[in-house]
């Protein structure tokens, strides 16, 4: 989230004989986002989103997550921007994290646009039946107190004032009181149990809804105390009050960034909102790195008792991507094809709400010698559209497959740890294949008939409970012709 934290083959196709198998019932569909996907338009401006709304609809996304629209800290101009006469520096690497340093609880900032432009974006999205999810920072304000608005500072007891939660002592990050009551990395921690602070946050969120937003993503959610804390009396009613207020005022969806660890209390947060399956994202990246596709390994969401219909799933998040490439939970090493592989798994499955993270143009991956590429080559500035991978034909086909399979159960099987099959009801199938074998012949639950690959248009035949055909592409997505 913050600067301080910076530092394949998919074959959606059909099957091979003699595979281990398993099945899971699809979890309940609670609302219309549960069978769809979210595009994380990271650092796109409101105008950029509006101008590309048709492409986003055509790519099959049901919702767009926008970066925090709040007034935020403006970095002093870098040398290059000074030379170009820019008022605010828009170089990506040095500035994206300032969007997570709010200075006020009002819509509009120098990077993303004005309140009017936010409203115009929401209106355009509604015309295309796309929902806007606002990334809202409610745990803290900027590290620079002088930049914080008097509207915030005039609230009595607005901050916790319990000292800093630094990045140098790992034990501090496994202490519930410290992670919820101290200033994370120097960012002034809001006194979230205070009614005046809650009112300020509610007013801001209600204004977002008034402008046409549909849902919220709560940044750093696990750093805000729950109503009952097991190791002290510092709990507060922040989460029941905030989430109920959002629902009462028209929010259709809410989820929190609750990155899983030994003190995250993952299940407790899920009582108030959906939560981020960060362990599962790492599992998918580990499976990609190790070329290991065992269904038993992939099937478990590692969700600590939280049902699949309460999870937001991803291949990577902006935190994973922006962290230094030698960190254990980084994702910048993934290339485009590996992202497609991961997306086929998370979006092909029945549960969860998959979030597709849009990288900056040209960022990440590896060169021909296996060396990491820069995350921020500055081909993209703050406010610009990112990589076109979000509308890649295979990503689009996976998105549309997910829509078509809504309410269908899932059935997972694998072979030799190199081929993973995700069957959805008796209607379609995804295969991730690193076996090198293009011939497909296996038992299946699919109904008899001809199935067509969504990208290549190759045909596969299902007869008497078996499917047969050949694939030449990394990704093949089959639904009945």
| CATH code of the domain in which 109 resides | 3.20.20.80
Cβ contacts of 266 within 8 Å, gap of 6 or more: 258, 260, 275, 303, 304, 305, 306
Structure tokens at 292: 């290991």
Cut 0.75: pTM above it? yes
Residue 235 is given by DSSP the state -
What pLDDT does 88 receive?
Answer: 61
Q: Is residue 351 situated within a structural domain?
A: yes
What does the pLDDT read at residue 80?
A: 62
Helices (H) and strands (E) in the chain, counts: 15, 22
Across residues 404-426, what is the average pLDDT?
Answer: 91
Asked, for residue 320, whether it belongs to a domain, the answer is yes
pLDDT in tens, 127-175: 999 999 999 999 999 999 999 999 999 999 999 999 999 878 889 999 9
Note whether residue 256 is domain-resident.
no
Residue 352 has what DSSP assignment?
S
Asked if residue 76 is part of any domain, the answer here is yes
Query: 């990491």: which residue's tokens?
Result: 372
Residue 405's SS3 state is coil
Q: Please indicate, yes or no, if residue 174 is contained in any of the structural domains.
A: no
Distance of CA 395 to the CA centre of its chain: 15
> Do the beta carbons of residue 49 and residue 41 sit within 8 Å?
yes
Q: Is residue 103 part of a domain?
A: yes
Residues acting as catalytic residues: 219, 257
459 in a structural domain? no
Say how far apart CA 290 and CA 472 lie, in whole Å.
Answer: 23
What distance in Å separates the CA atoms of residue 367 and residue 314, rounded to the nearest whole number? 24
Average pLDDT on 51-73 reads 97
Residue 361 · residue 386 · CB < 8 Å: yes
pLDDT of 42 > 50? The answer is yes
* pLDDT tens for each residue of 2-40: 443 333 444 433 333 333 333 333 333 334 788 999 999
C-alpha dihedral sign at 358, 361, 362, 363? negative
Range of the domain at 290: 3-7+30-136+277-408
pLDDT of residue 456: 87
From 434, 425, 427, 421, select the one nearest 452 (Cα to Cα): 427
The pLDDT tens digits of the residues spanning 198-257 come to: 999 999 999 999 999 999 999 999 999 999 999 999 999 999 999 999 999 999 999 999
Q: For the chain, how many structural domains are there in total?
A: 1
**Over the Cα atoms of the chain, what is R_g?**
23
The DSSP secondary structure of 281-344, one letter per residue, reads HHHHHHHHHHT---HHHHH----TT--GGGEEEES--HHHHHS-TTSTT--TT--HHHHHHHHH
* pLDDT value at residue 169: 85
Select from 346, 262, 268, 355 the least CA-distant residue to 305.
Answer: 268
Average of per-residue pLDDT values in the chain:
89
Q: What is d(CA 310, CA 299) in angstroms, rounded to the nearest whole number?
A: 16
In a domain, 65, yes or no: yes
Q: What separation in angstroms does the CA of 344 have from each of 19, 261, 274, 398, 433? A: 20, 26, 22, 6, 11
Q: Which residues does residue 253 pair with via DSSP β-bridges, in sequence order?
A: 215
What band does 76 get if pLDDT is binned at 50, 70 and 90? low
E strands, 352-438, are 353-357, 410-415, 419-424, 428-433
Interior angle at CA 66, CA 372 and CA 346, nearest 5: 60
């Amino acid at each position: 989230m913050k600067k301080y934290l910076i530092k394949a083959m998919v074959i959606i196709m059909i099957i091979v004989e003699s595979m281990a198998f398993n099945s899971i019932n699809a979890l309940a569909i609670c609302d219309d986002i549960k069978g769809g996907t979210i595009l994380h338009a990271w650092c796109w401006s409101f105008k950029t989103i509006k101008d590309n709304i048709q492409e986003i609809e055509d790519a099959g996304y049901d919702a767009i997550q926008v970066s925090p629209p709040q007034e935020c800290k403006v970095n002093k101009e870098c040398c290059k921007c000074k030379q170009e006469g820019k008022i605010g520096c828009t170089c990506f690497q040095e500035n994206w994290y300032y969007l997570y340093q709010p200075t006020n609880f009002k819509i509009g900032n120098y990077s993303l646009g004005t309140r009017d432009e936010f409203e115009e974006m929401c209106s355009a999205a509604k015309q295309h039946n796309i929902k806007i999810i606002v990334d809202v920072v409610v745990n803290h304000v900027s590290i620079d107190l002088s930049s914080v608005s008097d509207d915030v500072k005039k609230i009595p007891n607005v901050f916790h004032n319990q000292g800093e939660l630094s990045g140098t002592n790992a034990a501090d990050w496994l202490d519930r009181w410290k992670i919820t009551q101290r200033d994370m990395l120097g960012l002034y921690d809001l006194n979230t149990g205070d009614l005046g602070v809650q009112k300020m946050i509610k007013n801001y969120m209600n204004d977002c809804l008034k402008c046409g937003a549909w849902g919220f993503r709560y940044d750093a959610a696990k750093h805000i105390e729950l109503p009952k804390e097991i190791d002290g009396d510092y709990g507060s009613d922040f989460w029941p009050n905030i989430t109920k207020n959002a629902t009462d005022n028209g929010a259709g969806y809410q989820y929190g960034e609750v990155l899983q660890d030994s003190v995250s209390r993952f299940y407790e947060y899920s009582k108030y909102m959906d939560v981020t399956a960060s362990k599962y994202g790492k599992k998918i990246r580990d499976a990609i790195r190790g070329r290991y596709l065992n269904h038993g390994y992939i099937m478990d969401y590692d969700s600590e008792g939280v049902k699949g219909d309460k999870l937001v799933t991803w291949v990577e998040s902006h935190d994973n991507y922006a962290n230094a490439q030698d960190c254990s939970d980084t994702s910048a090493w993934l290339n485009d094809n590996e992202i497609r592989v991961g997306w086929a798994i998370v979006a092909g499955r029945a549960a969860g709400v998959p979030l597709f993270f849009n990288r900056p143009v040209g960022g990440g991956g590896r060169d021909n010698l296996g060396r990491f590429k820069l995350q921020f080559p500055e081909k993209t500035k703050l406010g610009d559209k990112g990589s076109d991978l979000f509308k890649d034909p295979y990503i689009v086909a996976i998105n549309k497959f997910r829509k078509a399979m809504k309410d269908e159960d899932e059935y997972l099987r694998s072979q030799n740890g190199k081929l993973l099959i995700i069957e959805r009801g008796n209607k379609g199938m995804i295969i991730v294949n690193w076996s090198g074998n293009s011939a497909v012949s296996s038992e299946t639950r699919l109904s008899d008939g001809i199935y067509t690959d969504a990208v290549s248009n190759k045909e596969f035949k299902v007869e008497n409970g078996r499917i047969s055909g050949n694939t030449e592409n990394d990704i093949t997505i089959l639904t009945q012709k």
